[in-house]
Chain A
Amino acid sequence: MTESGSRRGADEGGTKQWELVVGLEVHCELATATKLFCGCPNQFGAEPNTNVCPVCLGLPGSLPVLNRQAVEFAMRLGRALHCTVEPSTFARKNYFYPDMPKDYQVSQYDQPINAEGHLDLPSGQRIGIERAHLEEDTGKSTHVGGGGRIHEAGHSLVDYNRAGVPLVEIVGRPDLRSSEDAKAYAAELRAILLATGVSDAKMEEGSMRVDANVSVRHPGEEFGTRCEIKNLNSLRSLGRAIDYEARRQIDLIEAGERVIQQTRHWDEADGRTHTLRSKEEAYDYRYFPEPDLVPVVPSAEWLAEVEASVPTLPAERREAVAEAAGVTPADAALVVERGLDGLVLAAIAAGADPLRVLTHADHNLAVEGADALDPRALAELVTMEADGALTATQAKTVLAEMVAGGGSPAEIAGAKGFEAVSADALGDVVDGIIAANADEWDRYVNGDDKTRGKLTGFFVGQVMRATQGNADGKAVTALLEQRRGG
């Protein structure tokens, strides 16, 4: 795990290697029909302050009623992250902020609904999940004038449509050792959120928000002092911010200074992190049990239902493809990400050559409608290609046609005039070309590698011309080598 650490620090003249330590805290909005504690629609983009009621406005006398669907989504996500679902309670997190209607946030504190899970990256690395708990979202402030900053604004407008939207906060352990790993973790988590259907997980729209805890150390030493980075609105920002922050901390330490624990804000425009508040300025949230809500103790039946609703997860799907195709799970990542693993597995089951299927899925099927392809047709195509009935280029063309309009590969190949050139027939053509070009063949057989390389192109071109392009270049090259040796 120190390779990535060694990429920074040591390669720039440091005497010791530096290791980056990252843990991510991810907030995601649950895609429930209504808010966490009231019946208002949970909807993005409505007119300001239209999806509000006494409860989510925190009006005096109002009381929260927990949304069953939100609990169910949280549990489903928890199980997808291999957490144990625990009896849980809510707590109040107290601090003043205008976009928080009650001036406290209802969250889960010492008894979260999901505890102790993990997430497996496509690389096979396992990242611990400390907890994944439920809480309510705040409203959204817009600062008018003063460049949008609260301290200089003429006035502020608050939209409470988002107030009370259910969130799950997923607290990852500091097991990540590079910005690439952190991005892979966020991407994998997003895939799980989408697969389980609990969130639309859009970083740009804020329905998935990532905060990064970053520190540096020498490998094997205690964790260094960490800084929490906020305002990471894309995977790209996440990666850049982590790299910047690590560099900043290493520079501080190497200059004989200390890293101060603080919350920092990533500025995408200037590519730096800036101090938001230090540990001393941190709020005392005065957590205490939320007296308006009762503990959540899901029944065994409900848990079983939730368990059954967890779909096959990306990591398991990668495993399945890897096993069927005889590749590593990382090699299967792309088809799973594209949702083509079902197609790939079915095509392999129908007898197609696994590696050729994977190659097509990786390179030729990043298109709309690919997942609707008939796996038997794909298998047929791959078999034609393997048998030499189609060249790789022809197969790609036929495949595009199959995705666009359906139909069997044989019909499409026929319609395109892609004629089968059998191995025997191809041998005859090659022998004919050799006979007709004796000088070139002599130089091919007796020349150096460079000469042979040039002449390979010549012979393949001749064969292609003779077969109207229906020959497979690789097969021709193989035959030429066979004739030379034989």
Chain B
Amino acid sequence: MADATPATTDTAVAIAEAVRSGERSAREVLDTHLAAIDAREGEIHAFNLVLADEARAAADEIDRRVAAGEDPGPLAGVPVALKDNLCTRGVATTCSSKILEGWEPPYDATVVRRLADAGAVVVGKANLDEFAMGSSTENSAFGPTRNPRDTTKVPGGSSGGSTAAVAAGFAAVGLGSDTGGSIRQPAALCGVVGMKPTYGRVSRYGLVAFASSLDQIGPLTHTVADTARVLEVIGGHDPADTTSIPEAMPALESVLGDGVAGLRVGVVRELMGEGIAPDVAARVREAAEVLAAAGAEVGEASVPAVTYGLSAYYLIAPAEASSNLSRYDGVRYGLRVDAPTTPEMNLASRTAGFGAEVKRRIMLGTYALSAGYYDAYYGKAQKVRTLIIRDFAAAYESFDLLLAPTSPTTAFPLGAKVSDPLTMYLNDICTIPSNLAGQPAVSVPFGAGDDGLPVGVQLLAPALAEAPLLRAAAVLEEGAPS
């Protein structure tokens, strides 16, 4: 647990304030993180691409601005790892897939631009399950990422690279994307804070789509305060994303100390039973006690429809993916395998370019949308989605926040589940409902399992309630077993 040197577990808030005040240089901060990368990246494989030269140039520019009396922004000099499904202008963006071989986006994702405008320094493009489809970062065309806490274990996924980069001290902040738990589950498994904001809080412009109605970008950080700060930077309306929420981002960082006195917190009964490891469930109950001790009214909540979440998710997400991934046809960019006719070329390129899990989901999704099956599969899944939203709404009449495990278990060994998709899918049973409901949720490290590996507990909130959500997260962070 203590592999990382103290310097590289510096928080984003600490780094930014030190750089802004001139106490530390962005370059020195960066070099510390690059040194950590040099030391352990060979073992961890958090990155598809390390942008050392570009990062040095960016850090030097931050230092120049500080020297000139300017404020480079709230993330001044903060090293960031970007999940490699976030578009970066002129820099390969692979989604850890062979199909995007050689493609360099001509534009930056909105979040990338906002990070740069806030003074952040991108250190690299982080590994992921191909097209964000997976829960272990083993489905990468470029090989798996390992868990910095125990390199025989997976880091979780699909944002395993960004999460491992933070956990290993390669970057102070990671950006991930969360479609069914892809930020929160690896955060739990690697012992960092990971948050999925309300759907529409953060612009998806420049996030390579997996399942558009579920995808949401969010931060991976050492602390809740870092998450609040990053979210304030990357969140807020973006005219380039029609689904982005028009309301301004509320203040988050400044309200973190407000505590939970009077907040009603419900432990989700349906997510505490079968399939949840006893040590994980025990940590959730302890977390409930911490909140109660801090003045929250803690009770048991029931959200019956969440038990159907996994089934609905594995119809909706593949259905959208089957459409989103059609464009990788060998015609315009990425991998092309030549063949006599265009349809044969499409087929050959897609056959060679996509990995097994991506192909599985494209087939699932294509089937779910087919004539004659739509109502029974996709249509029904959408109805379940409506039920989940309804059940959450009912629960939020009695509670302000909900509490649940993030992942059913602690990190599992590499290779343990990769050949059994259904077992792998069960990893997301506690995280998927928030994606289906479009609501925010955060995973906070809270002690360890019987194996000594990190456990994450998950707080859930109604749409747009990021502020109370993070206030409670800060209380859990404070009260977590050391």
Chain A residues close to B by CB (< 8 Å) = 54, 57-66, 92, 94, 96, 98, 101-104, 150-151, 156, 158, 284, 286-288, 291-294
Contact = CB atoms under 8 A, between A and B. Distances in A.
Interface string B114-155: 000000000000000000000000000000000000000000
Contact of B205 (A63, A94, A156): A63
A292 B329 contact: no
Contacts of A102: 326-327
Given A61-B87, A104-B323, A293-B243, 19 more contacts: A58-B332, A60-B209, A61-B93, A61-B109, A61-B205, A61-B208, A62-B205, A62-B206, A64-B242, A65-B240, A65-B241, A66-B242, A92-B323, A103-B326, A103-B327, A286-B322, A286-B374, A291-B212, A294-B242
B376 interface: no
B42 interface: no
Given A291-B213, A292-B212, A101 B332 contact: yes
A291 B320 contact: yes
Interface stretch (B11-19, B363-371, B421-429): B363-371
B209 A61 contact: yes
Contacts of B204: 63
Interface in B213-259: 213, 239-243
27 contacts: A54-B106, A58-B327, A59-B106, A60-B100, A60-B103, A61-B86, A61-B105, A61-B109, A61-B207, A63-B240, A63-B242, A63-B243, A65-B239, A66-B242, A92-B323, A94-B326, A98-B331, A102-B327, A103-B327, A103-B329, A151-B341, A156-B342, A286-B371, A288-B319, A288-B320, A291-B213, A294-B243
A269 to B, nearest CB: 26
For the residues of B in contact with A, the DSSP-based class is loop
Listed from nearest, the 5 A-B pairs whose CB atoms lie closest are A103-B326, A291-B213, A286-B369, A291-B212, A60-B208
A61 B110 CA distance: 10
Interface in B368-417: 369-371, 374, 378
A60 B105 contact: yes
A307 B341 CA distance: 50
B242 A60 contact: no
Given A103-B329, A291-B213, A294-B243, A60 B87 contact: yes
A372 B94 CA distance: 63
A286 B362 CA distance: 13
A141 to B, nearest CB: 9
Interface string B422-449: 0000000000000000000000000000
Contacts of A286: 322-323, 366, 369-371, 374
Contacts of A61: 85-87, 93, 105, 107, 109, 205-209
For the residues of A in contact with B, the DSSP-based class is loop
B82 to A, nearest CB: 12
A284 B106 contact: no
Contacts of B159: none
Contacts of B6: none
B159 to A, nearest CB: 16
A108 B67 CA distance: 55
Interface residues of B, number: 45
B151 to A, nearest CB: 31
B87 A292 contact: no
Given A63-B204, A156-B342, A288-B323, A96 B209 contact: no
A66 B103 CA distance: 27
Nearest to A286: B369
Nearest to B239: A65
A65 B326 contact: no
A96 B342 CA distance: 10
A102 to B, nearest CB: 5
A49 B243 CA distance: 28
Contacts of B342: 98, 150, 156
Contacts of B346: 96
A286 B373 CA distance: 10
Nearest to B343: A96
Contacts of A58: 327, 332
A148 B95 CA distance: 37
Contacts of B322: 94, 286
Given A286-B366, A286-B370, A292 B243 contact: yes
Contact of B326 (A63, A64, A66, A104): A104
B242 A292 contact: yes
A162 to B, nearest CB: 15
Contacts of A151: 341
B369 A158 contact: no
A96 B87 CA distance: 24
A161 B134 CA distance: 37
Nearest to A155: B342
Contact of B374 (A62, A96, A288): A288
Given A96-B346, A284-B371, A286-B370, A57 B332 contact: yes
Contacts of B371: 284, 286
A71 to B, nearest CB: 12
Contacts of B327: 58, 60, 101-103
B254 to A, nearest CB: 31
Interface string B1-44: 00000000000000000000000000000000000000000000
Nearest to B326: A103
Interface in B330-347: 331-333, 341-343, 346
Q: Which of B212, B241, B323, B370 has the most CB of A within 10 A?
A: B323
A94 B109 contact: no
A54 B371 CA distance: 31
Nearest to B200: A294
A286 B369 CA distance: 5
A289 B239 CA distance: 21
B369 A288 contact: yes
A417 B370 CA distance: 81
Given A54-B106, A294-B243, A60 B323 contact: no
A54 B107 contact: yes
Contacts of B100: 60
Interface in B176-231: 204-209, 211-213
Nearest to A283: B371
Contacts of A59: 105-107, 333
Contacts of A94: 322-323, 326, 369
A60 B93 contact: yes
Contacts of B85: 61
A57 B332 CA distance: 9
B3 to A, nearest CB: 34
Contacts of A96: 326, 329, 343, 346
Contacts of A150: 342
Interface string B40-69: 000000000000000000000000000000
Contacts of A66: 242
A111 B27 CA distance: 55
Contacts of B213: 291
A205 B218 CA distance: 47
Contacts of A158: 331
Nearest to B109: A61
A290 to B, nearest CB: 8
A359 to B, nearest CB: 56
A289 to B, nearest CB: 8
A293 B242 CA distance: 6
A101 B324 CA distance: 11
A109 to B, nearest CB: 11
A327 to B, nearest CB: 51
Contacts of B211: 291
Q: Which of A63, A64, A66 has the most CB of B within 10 A?
A: A63
Contacts of A291: 211-213, 243, 320
